[in-house]
Amino acid sequence: MAFLRTADLRRAVAEIEAMGYGTIWVGESLAREAFAASAIILAATSQIKVATGIANIWARDPTAMMNGGRALAEAWPDRFVLGIGVSHARLVDARGHHYERPLTAMRAYLEEMEKAPYRAPQPDPPAPIVLAALGPKMLQLARERTAGAHPYFVPIEHTRQARGILGPDRLLAPEHAVVFAKTREGARGPGDVYMRTYLALPNYRQNLVRLGWSDAELTPPGSDRLFDQMVAWGDDEEIARKLRRHREAGADQVAVSILTATPDQAPTADLRRLAPLLLS
């Protein structure tokens, strides 16, 4: 929903809340700034939680990150989750930073966030912090220093491994893409755009290599076998079944990315189709 006009975004998130969904995950990359987008959504709703998925640590210093989260958590108690991540070399370099040693950078960043001074009213409770974590070491850091992890572009097997690393008491909220198409051929249209985007980013590709996927299967837009793991398609029941597999593997919730040929339109009708199958 990053490409919606603000008035349309407000209407869409109010509808999604009424469907019974628990959290709206907000990316930023080349769209709205994460805290601004979160405030728009929080103000347009009354109960649903809003989580940044993710706020880039290179886009703001640790004090700005921590205090932005504190401000939203105090304004909307128990409704904001601060998801942060190291992003990707190409995007970080474009901002004038040098991307290197992401684990070390994140560890130091979290330490500075904890020290951030804040004179405004403190939130009660504080906003939970979660990490965009793929590899074992970043997942271990999420377990040690935060409330959990929000892995993106991951198959079911990653969710199972991530739960093993995080332990039973940390939030695990993987993202999973959905295309409402009855056949793989129909799903490949919008699905291949998604696959090409993320297979071109080294962090995601290396994570799949670590899980045992071959170079041949990872050649964009990916093999049919990989596509079926990364994009849920089929009839509504089949799509819901594929998403529930993350829950069976240990996820607390699944951040659903609806892929369509019209990204300037809210996927509310598609989410309404899934709601009775996922939320019962």
Residue 220 has pLDDT above 90, yes or no: yes
Entry pTM: 0.95
Q: At what angle do helices 184-199 and 202-210 cross, to 10 degrees?
A: 110
Q: What is the pLDDT of residues 88-116, one digit of tens each?
A: 656 666 666 666 799 999 999 999 999 99
Whole-number pLDDT of residue 263: 85
Q: What is the pLDDT of residues 35-86, one digit of tens each?
A: 999 999 999 999 999 999 999 999 999 999 999 999 999 999 999 999 999 9
The Cα 162–Cα 258 span in angstroms is 23
Structural domain 6-278, CATH architecture: Alpha-Beta Barrel (3.20)
Whole-number pLDDT of residue 264: 87
The Cα 73–Cα 126 span in angstroms is 6
Q: How far is CA 244 from CA 187, 239, 274, in A?
A: 19, 9, 11
The Cα 158–Cα 206 span in angstroms is 13
Closest by CA position to 132, among listed 113, 154, 111, 161: 154
DSSP strand pairing (171-172 vs 255-258): unpaired
